[in-house]
Structure 1
Amino acid sequence: MSVLAVIPARYGSTRFPGKPLATISGRPMIERVWRHTAAADGVDRVVIATDDERIAEAVRAFGGEAVMTPESCRNGTERALAALDVLGGDAEIVINVQGDAVLTPPWVIGSVPMAMKADTDIAMATPAVRMPPETEAKFRAAKAAGEVGGTTVVFDKAMNALYFSKAVIPFQRNPDAGTSTWQHIGLYGYRADTLRRLVALDPSPLESAESLEQLRALENGIPIRVVAVDYRGRSAWSVDAPSDVEEVETIIAREGELVP
């Protein structure tokens, strides 16, 4: 069962132009994500899908494989499909790894293809991590202060997603119930036919309201399996703005490299 991992990398970020090439502790950000993805179990091939030759050149310089995709791709999902088509479309599973997730461990990335290989009924999968109380408290405080970043998810007893939200869900009216809050990790696995179906669909109302692409799948009856993961004591952080680089470098200095 062939698994293709695609890392979409766009140069023209509004908040952080050239973000994939930003240097983090001596390496371009895109190289760090590529190394973590290449080290993940269950992944057969890793490509960086871009629309900018500067990124493609940098990828080739560190030994990665770059695929040129149309500038018209509106999001990472469309770019992942474009990469699949450029490469011939023969992969059975496509893993879409966010290019700014520089601290996502290889075992978290690998959890998705391994789950999909183990259960051929899974059409689409994504990981989530249970928030410890101190992390949840900080997360809720950040949301109360107006921060948009970070997504939570709730799922049924079979681990199929019920809803994703930028709000903190579920609402804890009864904290003594012991219900955990799960943070969604923004990478996705698709069967190739599911990816094509998803891209062909129009944006959905809840997707537009929350600006969360995965809600398009749920609104159209495409189930998403949530894979519970453990960061094993590692910190999670993504690079959304230039100010995040220093924070990520501090974490790397404290916790060490994920891949030597």
Structure 2
Amino acid sequence: MALPDPAAPLRAAIIIPARYASTRYPAKPLAMLRGPRQMAKPLLAWTLDAARAVRGASAVYVATDHPLIADAATAAGAPVLMTPAACANGTERCAAALSGLPDPADIIINFQGDALLTPPFVVEALIEAMANDPSIQVATPVVRASPAVQRRLIEDQRAGRVGGTTVTFGQHHDALYFSKSVIPHLPPARIGDPSSPLFFHIGVYAYRVAALQGYAALPVGTLELLEGLEQLRFLEAGKPVRIVEVRDPGHDLWELNNPEDIPFIEAILADRDAA
């Protein structure tokens, strides 16, 4: 068998994991959202639009466990990879979908189904980082928190709300820890300082196929369960996760987590179209 050409471009495939059952928001991928010109379509279709705008990806798939979501994906022109209902998170679902890929891929992008506001350049930065450094097995993007976002995250924490996930990383940009608490601690004098090392995690992941295949075999860790963050399974097992800093997208990267989020996301879609 011929060895792969190391000079050949990476084959990157995007998988959108989409499940029907959800404690907070059942059937979320089918929720209708209005966008530019009051056009309404399911959340899944909006997310497919965002994923298809990524340059450097050879294909976009939907991985699901439910026929209604499969039907919605097919209606939006996306190939479907059926996966078990028992998948605990999006990474497990992407791993389960690997066996159904019709074409080989070198890296898999986990483009979460509720992340319709993710700009293409965020995913393109992950692909570029992995193409430039073959040692990276898992990568995920962050953006430095602006003074306003710093204050919002800290105010949310004081009020007992989760305002987003933050991450710390070392000098080689491998993650030290992800948390739904604000990390690192900022003394009062550093809150609002644009140079403060407070980084907001964007929930998109890129994996080498071997790293993704090995994920489901790793033990579920205590920290993963406490934080509710799937990527901590890699860290708890001693597997590095590379952090890729991207520029501020200029709008909120809000995910659709609850029905109450719909008006806010629709407003962002309308503002982005007007711009």
Same fold (TM over 0.5): yes
1:232 Cα offset (Å): 3.3
Q: Tell me, yes or no, if the aligned pair for 2:15 and 2:61 is still in contact at 8 Å.
A: yes
- AA aligned to 1:120 is P
Partner in structure 1 of residue 266 of structure 2: 249
Q: 1:234 aligns with which of 219, 236, 251?
A: 251
- RMSD across aligned C-alpha pairs, in angstroms? 1.7
* Equivalent residue, structure 2, for 1:50: 64
How far does the alpha carbon of each residue in 1:223-259 deviate from its partner, in whole angstroms, 9 at most, with x for none? Answer: 111111123312211110000001101111122289x
Percent identity between the two aligned chains: 43
Please tell me whether residue 7 in structure 1 is matched to residue 16 in structure 2. yes
CA distance in 1 between partners of 2:98 and 2:48 (Å): 17
| Stretches (4+) displaced over 3 A | 174-178
Candidates 185, 191, 199, aligned match of 1:171? 185
CA distance in 2, matches of 1:209, 1:216: 11
Q: What residue identity is the alignment partner of 1:101?
A: A
CA contact (8 A) 2:175 2:242 kept: yes
The CA distance in 2 between the partners of 1:199 and 1:240, in whole Å, is 24
Cα distance in 1, alignment partners of residues 273 and 123 from structure 2: 18
CA contact (8 A) 1:41 1:111 kept: no
The farther-off stretch of 10-19 and 175-184 is 175-184
Scaled by the length of structure 2, the TM-score of the pair is: 0.89
- 1:219 is matched with which residue? 236
Distance 2:136 2:92 in 1: 20
Q: Secondary structure at the match of 1:44?
A: strand
CA contact (8 A) 1:105 1:231 kept: no
Looking at structure 2, the residues matched to 225 and 141 of structure 1 have their Cα atoms a distance apart, in angstroms, of: 28
The 1:20/1:79 distance shift into structure 2, 3 A limit, reads same
**2:95, 2:215 within 8 Å by CA — same for their partners in 1?**
no
Aligned counterpart in structure 2 of residue 106 of structure 1, from 85, 109, 120? 120
Alignment of 1:1-260 (within 5 A): 1-25=10-34, 26-87=40-101, 90-173=104-187, 175-176=189-190, 178-256=195-273
Q: Which has the larger radius of gyration?
A: 2
Structure 1: distance between partners of 2:223 and 2:103: 30
Contact map agreement 1:84 1:91 (CA 8 A) in 2: no
Q: Distance in 1 between matches of 2:180 and 2:242?
A: 19
Q: Distance in 1 between matches of 2:102 and 2:117?
A: 30
Stretches of structure 1 that go unaligned for 5 or more consecutive residues are none
Give the TM-score taking structure 1 as reference length. Answer: 0.94
**Letter of the aligned partner of 1:20 in structure 2?**
P
Aligned residues: 258
Measured in 2, the distance between the counterparts of 1:197 and 1:163 equals 20
Letter in 1 for 2:20: Y
CA displacement, residues 85-120 of structure 1 (integer Å, 9 cap, x when unaligned): 112683211111110012111111222122111211
Greater mean deviation of Cα atoms: 232-241 or 88-97:
88-97
Structure 2: runs of 5 or more not aligned: 1-9, 35-39
SS of the residue aligned with 1:245? helix
CA–CA distance in 2 between the matches of 1:123 and 1:33? 25
Segment of structure 1 superposing worse, 249-258 or 2-11: 249-258
SS at match of 1:114: helix
Structure 2 Cα separation of the partners of residues 104 and 231 of structure 1 = 11
